[in-house]
């Protein structure tokens, strides 16, 4: 069914549901899970000013994705990717680049007191721009 599942992640531990859902869908379809993290660039700074800073962030992100990947069932094929850029557009671009047929991600819970609060969220932006279906796991 789903062969190439992209899972955009930040560096928190709130994504267990999305990870396990993606793993189960990959297992059912004989597919692969791609753990993906974007390190947000700081505009206006030269590469020389932030090179070491981004290198530390990359190491931290890679270690985090490695831990998350190790938590997946052993029979689920997965790999990870860390890039520098802008979270939503680069997530969508990577989905297109790898031919993802599903994006599985976490979204903020709906707040009835502020119903439009989630419209600027990563999940909303990716959901609007994605070249494939997006499954939101709460």
Q: CA angle 9-12-17, nearest 5°?
A: 65
Read off the pLDDT band of 108 (50, 70, 90): confident
Q: Which of 109, 130, 106, 127 is nearest to 118 (CA)?
A: 109
Write the CB contacts of 104 (distance below 8 Å, at least 6 apart in sequence). Answer: 5, 6, 7, 18, 21, 22, 25, 134, 135, 137
In whole angstroms, how far apart are CA 53 and each of 50, 68, 86?
Answer: 5, 23, 17
Q: Is the dihedral of CA 79, 124, 96, 93 positive or negative?
A: negative
Read off the pLDDT band of 13 (50, 70, 90): confident
Domain 4-137 fold is Rossmann fold (3.40.50)
The residue extents of the domains of the chain are 4-137
**How far apart, in whole angstroms, are the C-alpha atoms of residue 92 and residue 125?**
9
pLDDT number for residue 118: 61
Sheet holding 102-106, edge to edge: 77-85, 32-40, 4-8, 102-106, 134-137
pLDDT number for residue 6: 98
**How far apart, in whole angstroms, are the C-alpha atoms of residue 52 and residue 50?**
6
pLDDT number for residue 46: 81
Q: What is the pLDDT of residues 38-78, one digit of tens each?
A: 999 988 888 788 999 999 999 999 999 999 999 999 999 99
């Amino acid at each position: 069914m789903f062969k190439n599942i992209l899972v955009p992640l930040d560096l928190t531990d709130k994504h267990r549901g999305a990870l396990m859902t993606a793993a189960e869908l990959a297992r059912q379809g004989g597919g692969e899970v791609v753990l993906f993290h974007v390190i947000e660039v700081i505009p206006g700074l030269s590469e020389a000013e932030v090179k070491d800073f981004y290198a530390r962030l990359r190491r931290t992100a890679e270690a985090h994705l490695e831990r998350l990947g190790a938590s997946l069932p052993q029979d689920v094929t997965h790999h990870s990717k860390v890039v520098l850029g802008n979270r939503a557009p680069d997530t969508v671009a990577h989905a297109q680049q790898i031919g993802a047929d599903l994006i599985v991600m976490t979204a903020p819970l709906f707040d009835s007191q502020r119903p439009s609060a989630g419209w600027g969220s990563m999940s909303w932006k990716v959901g609007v721009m994605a070249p494939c279906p997006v499954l939101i796991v709460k």
